[in-house]
Amino acid sequence: MLQTLVVICLALASRVTATPTFSLFPGTIFEQFPGFEGATILTSQGGHAKCVRGNLNVQTSSSNVKLNYDGPSSQLALTELVLENLQVNSPLSASVVGAKTQVSGSYKINSQICWPSSGSMNASSIQFLTHGVGFDKSYWDFYSSDYSYIDFMAEQGYTTFSYDRLGVGASAHPDPIQVVQAQMEVEVAHTLIQGLRSGSYCTTKFQKVIGVGHSLGSILTTGVASQYPADLDAAVLTGFSIDAAGFPVFFAGLNLVIAKENNPLRFGLLQNGYIVSDTKVSNQFGFFRYPNFSPAVLDASERVKQTLSIGEFFTNAMVLAPAPEFTGPIDVVDGENDLPFCQSNCLNNGNRAAEVKGALFPAASAGSDSYILKGAGHGLNLHYGAKDAYKHIAGFLAKNGY
């Protein structure tokens, strides 16, 4: 049955891509993607993946926290907020973070499923990709085939799901203070994963889900593994460790500004609680290490840079908890010179990537692994060595039977 669907799916796909299709017509591949509104077909950077992209309606409810903060009313107030947060023994968080409060809503999440263009969608597993701060889902299919995680994995036979997190890119932008908080994003991820397993977005019911994160996306993936241990069969955590010593310098270096003032064309409709790194220099400081990247890739990452919400700013760390019930394998992959998670040296007195298993995943299986990508900064996918990391991750997955 499933095989038949996949075959039909592919036959229709080749027919449809000959002429661009922008709406859901009966008898097209889009019938296999019932959850995707306004679906379009595209290919990955290197052409190894074919993708369907559209909006999923995600109904969710989250135990958020009430934040006693209405701003920032101006750039002066935002800079003051960041400064106060970085103050030694800062009382800011304690005064702003209030009681738990339930927040519910239905949010459009712009998503895509990509599968090998040379083969079929394999229902045995899907990789669930969650991007970090400063990017959207294009982080996983960036610039050219040299950097595209999605393209590389499709070449190895893997199907991927990637999405713009709530409050980012083409997804919904609700209240950036009370709604777009880390716990809400864990609930969004949980709902999406359930939908991929049950076949409500795509008629293929994926049997195994491999959570793959970058930075905040890795914190959220760990949050899912901690709160919903049955959601994920394996976890790949990139740009991640339990060492937060580099965070103050990282946040200072981002030079956070009000997004709509920074780029009215891209962010003009957003509330002041959506903030963004200021310039290409701020972007390089937070995510890159020269000369191990192409200046054209830094330019591209500045052009598509994305926002952070004040809600995330105050709640990111709250979902980072051990996942003692998670028994699958984990793979932790860091750029050697990751600023936020390694204070720019992941091999200083030990190995920050290797330390994650003992600290957060005590029951992770023996197939767990870690990898340090030489010379890369926090945005490891955007460095020359990106494919070495992808090869390592594909090896980790194969070794564990995925």
Ligand X SMILES: *[C@@H]1O[C@H](CO)[C@@H](O)[C@H](O)[C@H]1NC(C)=O
Is residue 156 near ligand X by the rule CB under 6 A?
A: no
Q: How far is the CB of 233 from ligand X (least distance, A)?
A: 11
The nearer residue to ligand X, 122 or 365, going by C-beta atoms, is 122
Helix 295-303 × helix 280-287 angle, to 10°: 110
| Alpha carbon 340 to chain centroid, angstroms | 16
Is residue 402 near ligand X by the rule CB under 6 A?
A: yes
Q: Where are the alpha helices (DSSP H) in 304-371?
A: 310-315, 339-342, 352-360
Q: Which of residues 213-232 bind ligand X (CB under 6 A)?
A: none
Binding mask 71-110 for ligand X (x = CB under 6 A): ----------------------------------------
Q: How far is the CB of 306 from ligand X (least distance, A)?
A: 32
Is residue 324 near ligand X by the rule CB under 6 A?
A: no
Neighbours of 112 (CB within 10 A): 26
Is residue 157 near ligand X by the rule CB under 6 A?
A: yes
Helix 182-198 × helix 216-227 angle, to 10°: 70
Q: How far is the CB of 125 from ligand X (least distance, A)?
A: 6
Place of tokens 């972007």: 283
The nearer residue to ligand X, 110 or 125, going by C-beta atoms, is 125
Q: How far is the CB of 11 from ligand X (least distance, A)?
A: 16
Residue 15 backbone phi and psi in degrees, to 5: -70, -45
The nearer residue to ligand X, 61 or 124, going by C-beta atoms, is 124
The nearer residue to ligand X, 210 or 353, going by C-beta atoms, is 210
63 with 183: CB under 8 angstroms? yes
**In whole angstroms, what is the distance from residue 402 CA to residue 400 CA?**
6
Shortest-Cβ-distance residue relative to ligand X: 122
Give the total residue count for the chain.
402
The nearer residue to ligand X, 157 or 385, going by C-beta atoms, is 157
# residues near ligand X by CB under 6 A: 4
Which residue type does 325 have? Answer: E
From residue 26, give the alpha-carbon distance in Å to each of 10, 21, 31, 188. 15, 12, 7, 29
Q: Which of residues 115-154 bind ligand X (CB under 6 A)?
A: 122, 124
Among residues 112, 109, 113, the alpha carbon closest in space to that of 171 is found at: 109
The nearer residue to ligand X, 150 or 276, going by C-beta atoms, is 150
Q: How far is the CB of 115 from ligand X (least distance, A)?
A: 11
Task: Give the pair of three-digit tokens for residue 8.
Answer: 């039909």
147 secondary structure, DSSP code? T
The nearer residue to ligand X, 28 or 122, going by C-beta atoms, is 122
Among residues 187, 189, 46, 168, the alpha carbon closest in space to that of 114 is found at: 46
Q: How far is the CB of 228 from ligand X (least distance, A)?
A: 23
The nearer residue to ligand X, 157 or 199, going by C-beta atoms, is 157
Q: How far is the CB of 141 from ligand X (least distance, A)?
A: 21
Q: How far is the CB of 393 from ligand X (least distance, A)?
A: 14
356 with 364: CB under 8 angstroms? no
Binding site for ligand X (CB under 6 A): 122, 124, 157, 402
